[in-house]
Structure 1
Amino acid sequence: MERHEKRLTSMIWRSMGESMGLSLVLFGVILYFLSSNGYIKAFTTWQEGVRVSLTLIVIVAFIGGVYGLWHSSKMKRRLELLREVMLTLEKGNLSRTVPPIGEDEIGQLGEQLNFITKKWEDQVTSLQRLSSNNAQLAQKAKYSAIVEERQRLARELHDAVSQQLFAISMTATAVGRTLDKDFDKAQRQIQLIEEMASVAQSEMRALLLHLRPVHLEGKRLSEGLVELLQELTAKVPMAIDWELIEDVQLPKGIEDHLFRIVQEAMSNALRHSKATKLEVRLTQPSEDAVRLLIRDNGVGFDLDDKKHASYGIVTMRERVNEIGGSINLITAPGKGTRIDIRVPIMAKGGDGDGERNPDQGAACG
């Protein structure tokens, strides 16, 4: 910003100098023409000639400088406007356009920038529509996967838990027969029942863990993130703070990608960062954009070190690009990690509110 201001200031001074120089040259040419044709009388004394000449030079230079200042200030305002629009485009905000600023080269540049913005907006809209279509296709593929998963769980229930329960039942019957005859044997059988019940309970917990939904299914993004963060809070010794806007309307494709990004960021924080604090923010700074901020106080890493170009970070960048957003990753050794994602909202509602199969949340896809 400071360098930009210096350049604009230098441009103003240069324009003023050029205008003053051109004014003096034109003044000299006009004066020579008038003198050559006898329109100017000779001065009575050389002192009078010097005084009048200096006065005229100062007046002409002042007028040229004022004109140069006015012209360069006008150009500065137009260039500043172009720069502001370009900065908003860089941040992913496609709603701002360049108003008419003239018909010269700068005005044509503004029109070209508006054309590029419109083209970019159309491409982002297409990307988001494609992302939503891909999510719907993936959703249909999950239905068949759910059927296969249920069949697998049924086999495991029969092979593991059912057999354990049958063994417990048979042993309990045996306890009733031997309790009066051999008390020590009955105690061993009861201990065996406890062990088998514990094994059966462990098997059931493992199966229930598979039944728990791990996808953003049947929920809005904020609801899925709250459930995910609450579950993580209960399981890990980490202080987790979140602020999630609830009424934001997002296409399903964007919701799925942002949910996966949060999952990946949390996984990285648990596996690599050694963080004790994690912060997740989902906000809507404007009507046509959403912002996701994930920050931890972990060990961080060097972005230029290729060893840390993990698959998770690459995947996050690919997901953000697929929905037409921008990602800003800030980290350094010992400074934690900050992931700032901004996504323009080109399509309202619609795709994010489609009907979902109620069986969809019953099993892991």
Structure 2
Amino acid sequence: MSAVRDDPEQATTPAAGTAARPVRAPRDEDASPRLVGRRLRWIALAAPMAFFLLLEAVHYHLEHSPWWSPEFAQAWHLAVAIAVCVGIGIFSWLMLRHIDRAEGAIVMQNRDLLLADTVTAATHGQPDAQGVADAAARVLADVPGIGCVRLRLNPREGDPALEAVAGRSPDLAGTTIPALDRPLAEGDRAVGRIEVWASDHDLPGEHIGPATESALSLQVAGAARLKADFADLYRRRDEGHAFYAILLAISRQSGTLPTLTDLATHARDLLDADAAAVVVTVAAANTVRFDSTAEVPQACSDGSTLLGVGLPDHIDEVTGQRVNPIGCLHWGAYAEHGVTSPRGNVGTLRVGRRDERPFTERDRSFLATMAGLASIALTSAKVREQERQREVLNERTRIAREMHDSMAQVLGAMHLRLRMLETFPSVTGDADTAEQVSALAETADEAYRDVREVILGLRDSDKADLTLEENLEAYTAKFAAQSGIVTEFRNETGGPVQLSPRTEVHLIRVVQEALTNVRKHARATRATVTITGTDATTVTIADDGQGFHAPTDVPTTDGYGLFTMSDRLSLLHGTLRLESYPGIGTKVIASVPEPPSRTPRS
């Protein structure tokens, strides 16, 4: 079927059932072209008058000349008649030629409008820009005289270019120069190009005019806007689902590790990234419990905790330890946002792409919202850990009270009765019996001291309302009073020390275990507990006792409590080192990667 018709009246009216063409409303002079324009009217009026006045001027000049005669007058009248006929003929030819051109322009415009209506009708309802390009190319290829049409569209910045080819001679595309090559634009923005190859000597521009190009451009831009609107709608829906899922997991207390891992998964999927991770700082990681299933978070060599998806293993070639891969590998595009809490920075949410597609402002805004949810998750986990620690302290206090009211008093009474039994004549008269009673009294006294020390550790050494320094000072003072060993606490960090509650509890337990070893095994007269460090925190428990040959590695069994201390420090990504030699005393050195805080306790 032909998309061009010669009936001007019918060409200007859209076919029945055809959707309205989304083009700019034309102005009056554009919508109703006239056969006789304003300039032609002035020419039609002025030219005959000018010709008549010219003849009259010549006639007047000749009549008053000396060589005017009746014979010359007759010849003059004949010349004037011939000149008038020739002038009328030339004037009529010029007027008809101009009218014919105007009529041809109107016919071409009507053809263009009809083709624009046909293109609009064919492309109406197409789901995307590719469908618009294919439908428009098929319609344009049906125009007589056109052998091949190629549309190259770039409907939206950042989207891949689209191409559609149609026609009776598709082999012409790419092998010959197109007869028509024009850009398609919507306003000031180019949306593609149209290339046409003619199958005969007709010029494609006679059939494809500005109206068709405008209609095609508007349809392409409209399809791009529709696609963008739907994509934005779907993305808002997916983002809302992600926010709801993370908030639901936080409210249900599903566990810190699975919640943050799901958060990283949503960030990776919705931002079309290859990897995402939540990197939790050392201080923040020590305040929460990553309670989950068998999965454990990945620890990096800098002490941070990594919870991510899509990350490869990355090992430091120098230290041989695992490091944070999202910060070490080369990413084509990279974005991050800090995870902050009222107490300061607690981590970073990071995403990366291996290709070079940049992250948009919309992507970064979504990343900021997810970082806020990560902060809520970590704060909630910290509150739960503080509540758990409070319950542990209450339970320790209850156990200490029970031990004091029952076991300690029983052991104390037993020790006193055994000492009294040693004075009985029936005991003093038998050397073996006296030795056994004395040994039992010593054992009861040792058990009583152990119970008192346990009560001290359970009740008085880790009060939540005291700082680490205050807790250690109080414990060392009571330890010295009970054991008779001069014990001193020193802070050599240059300022007040405030670690995370979880770290403080574990360090207090390490100090208690080490001092218990001093009392039981060192035979020391003096002990010191010293805190040092700037980037990390180190607690050293030293004594002047008898010493021993320290093992190279920490024992895997609980000899002298070393394994227990090492296990506590491993939970904090810390280390335990033992220095001792016979006759020079012993040093237990516990280090954690968390630096001493310089901010006052709130």
Bigger fraction of residues in strand: 2
TM-score in same-fold range (> 0.5): no
Q: Which of 1 and 2 has higher RCO (CA within 8 Å, sep 6+)? A: 1
TM-score (norm 2): 0.27
